[in-house]
Amino acid sequence: MTEGIDHPGYLAFIDALVTGQLKLGQVLKQQALCEVLGISLSPMREATTLLEAEGLITVRRRVGIAIFYPDVKFVGNTFQLRGLLEREGLTKFARTVDPAWIRRARADHVAIVDYLRTADDPAAYREPMRLLERDFHGSFIAALENHQIDTIYQRLDQKMFLIRLINMEAVGLENSIQSMSEHLAVLDALDQRDAEAATEALDKHLKGVLHRVLTT
């Protein structure tokens, strides 16, 4: 885990948003936030510093702590940075990718699409989807072999997950199947060792995800 974001208060904050104990855009007093997160005032101050540095909260004097709400600019900037990092990683990854990785990744994608076509409970498929996406996209970042980029990307990954909280329909069944189809297009290009086609397919996927988040 990277420095800072493994702080118990930071992790508790992320978990509280995911579970609905906290809401995007909510404003509350520091003591109330301590109670929700189950931590004392001292570690809360440390967590507040980290969260504010990440743009996840704003401390307003005599008002309280405002939890961020991802506006269009925040979402667009997050996707832009993610795209820059992943395209660079994918270009390198395409030159060295193991055919066994492609076969495994394709089999995993086909299996989850088959599952999605019969699934009816979002809670049952969202975690497997998240793990598959983390492995898929994370492989491109890992190819860069750069610890600083790893740190930046891990923070981006958390923000991407929180962005989805503004529109859970963006990760509904139909949209999830579409995302997996876009992943498969990247895998097809990798199988042909066509880095340019792979990055074009990745661009199409990220633009598709951004569109679904903002408009679904």
pLDDT digits (tens, 9 = 90+) for 124-143: 787 888 899 999 999 999 99
Q: What percent of the chain has pLDDT over 90?
A: 65
The pTM for the full model equals 0.84
Q: Sketch the domain layout of the chain as residue ranges.
A: 8-67, 72-215
Give the integer Cα–Cα distance in Å for 210 and 13. 24
CATH superfamily of this structure's domain 72-215: GntR ligand-binding domain-like (1.20.120.530)
Alpha helices by DSSP H, the chain:
8-19, 30-37, 41-53, 72-96, 99-116, 122-142, 147-163, 173-191, 195-215
- 105 burial type by CB count under 10 A (0-12 exposed, 13-18 middle, 19+ buried): buried
In sequence order, the 6+-apart residues with CB closer than 8 A to the CB of 201 are: 182, 185, 186, 188, 189
Q: What are the pLDDT digits (tens) for 37-73? A: 999 988 898 999 999 998 899 999 889 999 999 889 9
- What pLDDT is recorded for position 4? 57
pLDDT at res. 158: 86
pLDDT value for 5:
65
Which CATH class for the 8-67 domain? Answer: mainly alpha
pLDDT (mean) for 192-209 = 97
146 by DSSP, 3-state: which?
coil
The span from the CA of 68 to the CA of 63, in Å, is 15
When pLDDT is cut at 50, 70 and 90, the band that residue 1 belongs to is very low
pLDDT at 121: 76
How does the average pLDDT of the chain come out, rounded?
91
**67-81, 100-114, 117-131, 201-215: range with lowest mean pLDDT:** 117-131
Strands 64-67, 27-28: pairing kind: antiparallel
Beta bridge partners of 67: 57
Count other Cβ atoms within 10 Å, centred on residue 174: 11
What does the pLDDT read at residue 19? 85
